[in-house]
Amino acid sequence: MASNKKTWFARPPKFKNRMIVMILGVITQALGLSLLLQIDLGTDPCTCLTLGVIIFLPVTFGTAQLLCHLVTFTFVLIFDRSKIGFGTIGNMVCLGYISDFFTWIWGKVIPEGFFRQGYMDWICLLPALFIFICGASAYMTADLGMSPYDGLPFIISSHMPKVPFKLVRILWDSAFMVAGFLLGGVVGIVTVLTAFFLGPVIAWFQKKLAVFIS
């Protein structure tokens, strides 16, 4: 078992700024995710698996995502608890339910079938994906812990030092994409793009956002 390199829920430098960035990041990511769900051209691999789970469990998206995270959270507890922090709770527990809330709002204010009209789904795709990636990057940049889904690739990579992290992340995302597809989850252009490019793009965004906590 890997040793813990820092105390759970420790207060790093500029803790207040980091908390603000993390909270805004989770809310923004949930907003982008809710839009991607409405557009229905696929989602990130983790959400793809969650959508597959919903087919078999009569629960909301937020509850299904929390259940999936709890499974992977077990492995984080076993192998590297230093990845656990406020950001872990924010993403693991809150992201799905905040996304449910935004989805409820869209159901009230957006006409049914809006994204099926013409090319409206493709027109809204890039803005929604941009919002999602900005949110994911912000919560990771805060460095207050990761969701189990995001933390496990780092743990796997630490046990496989000869394998580049980018490759580990791509294989990890691809595995969830395939599992989600086999369960009946929606696989679309967004799923494929995020499976192969989400990690590198988030790394680029993190460098831009780091100025807020440095």
pLDDT for position 35: 94
* Exposed/middle/buried for residue 92 (C-beta within 10 Å: 0-12, 13-18, 19+): buried
Instruction: Tell me the residue type at 48.
Output: C
pLDDT for position 143: 85
pLDDT for position 27: 97
Q: Is 42 a domain residue?
A: yes
Q: Is 3 a domain residue?
A: no
pTM of structure: 0.86
Range of the domain at 36: 15-212
User: Measured between alpha carbons, how far is 44 from 19 in angstroms, rounded to an integer?
Assistant: 24
Q: Is 6 a domain residue?
A: no
Q: Which residues contact 180 (CB under 8 A, 6 or more apart)?
A: 45, 47, 48, 49, 50, 51, 52, 187, 191
pLDDT for position 106: 94
- The ranges of the chain with pLDDT < 70 are 1-10, 199, 212, 214
pLDDT in tens, 118-152: 788 899 998 998 899 889 888 888 889 889 998 99
- Count of domains for the chain: 1
Q: Is 137 a domain residue?
A: yes
Q: What angle do CA 138, 89, 78 make, to 5 degrees?
A: 110
Q: Is 142 a domain residue?
A: yes
21: part of which helix (H) or strand (E)?
helix 15-39
Q: Is 40 a domain residue?
A: yes
pLDDT for position 3: 44
